Amino acid sequence: MIRVGVIGYGYWGPNIVRNFHRVSGCKVEMVCDKSAEMLGRLAQAYPDIKSTTNCREIVSSPDIDAVAVVTPVWTHYELAKSALEHGKHVFVEKPFTSDTAQAEELIEIAEKKGLKIMVDHTFLFTGAVRKIRQLIDNGSLGNLYYYDSTRVNLGLFQHDVNVIWDLAPHDLSIMDYLLSERAEAVSATGQSHLNGHEDIAFMTVYFPNNVIAHINVNWLSPVKVRTTLIGGEKKMLVWNDLEADEKIKIYDKGVDVRTREGVYDLLVSYRSGDMWAPQVEQVEALKLEVEHFRDCILNDTQPLNDGIAGLRVVRMLEAATTSISKKGEVVHLNGKPTRAVHAFAKHA
Ligand SMILES: NC(=O)c1ccc[n+]([C@@H]2O[C@H](COP(=O)([O-])OP(=O)(O)OC[C@H]3O[C@@H](n4cnc5c(N)ncnc54)[C@H](O)[C@@H]3O)[C@@H](O)[C@H]2O)c1
């Protein structure tokens, strides 16, 4: 039985508590929130779970094996570090930390102490992303051309981070999982209108072999859109995460280009075949993710979304911040850790 302490019971915390509570082999031992009002909500939903307003009670408790950090981004580093130093495994919200130095330090502490870090890159555990990875891995899409995502809605404005740090970690972690090569460079532009943090931003990520990604994130959109296009040499797909059924549609469309012998002009032919919507598994992603965390602790294996995966995402976010301050200048990324390959991915 893994005894879990959860810090932060605001908007996202209840989802984490609910999933650790229902998964076999895990028990929510205690929940901490600075706000008595939030703990009142916890008491109503789970009268048997202990609560505290002091996070030290969780990080130093001998009755807790793992700590979930579900607080605002600027607090992740301190809380995760304290938990690791007290010998606890850590499940930490996205984005992992506020900068790469913090992420590297946490990874080092965890390695020295033989502890697990899992960063909540929830989308990796959705049926849609697992299906897309399958389609890429089995060659259905062919060599990839691009990843193009629109993730916009009205709010929720965050107080400590801009819209890129809030919404783009989803796409960056998905791309990091789907694409076989590591990102090489980032460029971003954005503008703030209300609270001093960019509330609309456009990010471009450059990958080897001419693969390009674009992410449009916006807290000032009148409508919610969650649509991603992935273009491949053989097929192209549209993933609309707001669709209840048929989230993914695969189009047998493409362009073939040949050069006519002895003639300089190109022959371009457009291919327009069938469209189909594959079956997408409907299990709640957080449940699978929490089970994966449990299994990694019990079997001493490395999580698919470990601290290093979290660091890669923070590195791209940090580069985006630099680029925004220079009006979109291209920022090159250093270091290319290898692609995450894990038993979970193989079963996807
Ligand atoms: N994975 C996802 O899809 C997803 C979705 C939403 C939010 N998040 C992440 O979850 C984290 C929390 O976001 P949120 O929207 O729930 O924020 P929130 O502000 O709604 O809730 C945070 C809670 O943490 C509490 N808190 C802050 N510092 C604390 C401390 N030191 N000790 C105890 N309690 C403390 C606050 O009182 C608040 O109730 C963020 O990192 C965010 O990026 C992830």
Give the model confidence (pLDDT) of 14-52 as tens digits: 999 999 999 999 999 999 999 999 999 999 999 999 999
User: Could you tell which of 51, 70, 125 is best to mutate to test the pocket of ligand 1, judged by most ligand atoms within 8 Å of the CB?
Assistant: 70
Going from the Cα of 330 to the center of ligand 1, the distance in angstroms, rounded, reads: 31
Going from the Cα of 92 to the center of ligand 1, the distance in angstroms, rounded, reads: 10
Going from the Cα of 316 to the center of ligand 1, the distance in angstroms, rounded, reads: 22
Going from the Cα of 234 to the center of ligand 1, the distance in angstroms, rounded, reads: 41
Beta bridge partners of residue 28, listed in sequence order: 4
pLDDT tens-place values along the chain, 348 residues long: 999 999 999 999 999 999 999 999 999 999 999 999 999 999 999 999 999 999 999 999 999 999 999 999 999 999 999 999 999 999 999 999 999 999 999 999 999 999 999 999 999 999 999 999 999 999 999 999 999 999 999 999 998 999 999 999 999 999 999 998 999 999 999 999 998 999 999 999 999 999 999 999 999 999 999 999 999 999 999 999 999 999 999 999 988 888 766 666 778 889 899 999 999 999 999 999 999 999 999 999 999 999 999 999 999 999 999 999 999 999 999 754 433 433 343 333
Q: From the CB of 328, is ligand 1 less than 6 Å away?
A: no
According to DSSP, residue 87 is labeled T
Annotate 36-69 with b (16+ C-beta within 10 A) or e (fewer): eebbeebeeebeebbbbeebeebbebeebbbbbb
Going from the Cα of 299 to the center of ligand 1, the distance in angstroms, rounded, reads: 29
**Residue 277 burial class via C-beta count within 10 angstroms: exposed 0-12, middle 13-18, buried 19 and up:** middle
Tokens of residue 80, six digits: 């995760």
Q: From the CB of 93, is ligand 1 less than 6 Å away?
A: yes
Give 248-316 as a 3 state SS string.
EEEEEEEEEEEECCCCCCEEEEEEEEEEECCCCCCCCHHHHHHHHHHHHHHHCCCCCCEHHHHHHHHHH
Beta bridge partners of residue 4, listed in sequence order: 28, 66
pLDDT at 264: 67
Nearest CA to ligand 1 atom 33: 33
| Percent helix, strand and coil across the chain, each to the nearest 5 | 35, 30, 35
Q: From the CB of 13, is ligand 1 less than 6 Å away?
A: yes
Q: For residues 160, 161, 162 and 165, what is the CA-based torsion angle, rounded to 10 degrees?
A: -170
Cross-sheet strand order for the sheet of 89-93: 50-52, 26-32, 2-7, 66-69, 89-93, 117-120
Alpha helices in the chain (DSSP H): 13-22, 36-45, 56-59, 73-85, 100-113, 127-137, 163-178, 285-299, 307-325, 343-347
Cross-sheet strand order for the sheet of 266-276: 266-276, 248-259, 236-240, 220-232, 144-154, 212-218, 200-206, 185-191, 331-332
pLDDT at 180: 87
pLDDT at 335: 56
pLDDT at 80: 98
pLDDT at 271: 87
Q: Which atom of ligand 1 is nearest to the CA of 156?
A: 15
Q: From the CB of 198, is ligand 1 less than 6 Å away?
A: no
Q: From the CB of 38, is ligand 1 less than 6 Å away?
A: yes
pLDDT at 338: 37
Q: From the CB of 72, is ligand 1 less than 6 Å away?
A: yes
Q: From the CB of 55, is ligand 1 less than 6 Å away?
A: yes
Going from the Cα of 271 to the center of ligand 1, the distance in angstroms, rounded, reads: 47
Q: Which atom of ligand 1 is nearest to the CA of 53?
A: 33
**Residue 220 burial class via C-beta count within 10 angstroms: exposed 0-12, middle 13-18, buried 19 and up:** middle
Q: Do 46 and 53 form a contact (C-beta atoms < 8 A)?
A: no
Q: From the CB of 169, is ligand 1 less than 6 Å away?
A: no
- Amino acid identity for residue 5 in this structure: G
Q: From the CB of 71, is ligand 1 less than 6 Å away?
A: yes
d(CA 110, CA 116): 6
Place of tokens 């999982």: 177
Q: For residues 57, 295, 286 and 147, what is the CA-based torsion angle, rounded to 10 degrees?
A: 120
Tokens of residue 48, six digits: 């048997």
Going from the Cα of 89 to the center of ligand 1, the distance in angstroms, rounded, reads: 19
Going from the Cα of 7 to the center of ligand 1, the distance in angstroms, rounded, reads: 8
Tokens of residue 319, six digits: 């580069």
Q: Do 89 and 66 form a contact (C-beta atoms < 8 A)?
A: yes
Nearest CA to ligand 1 atom 25: 8
Other beta carbons less than 10 A from residue 273's beta carbon:
10
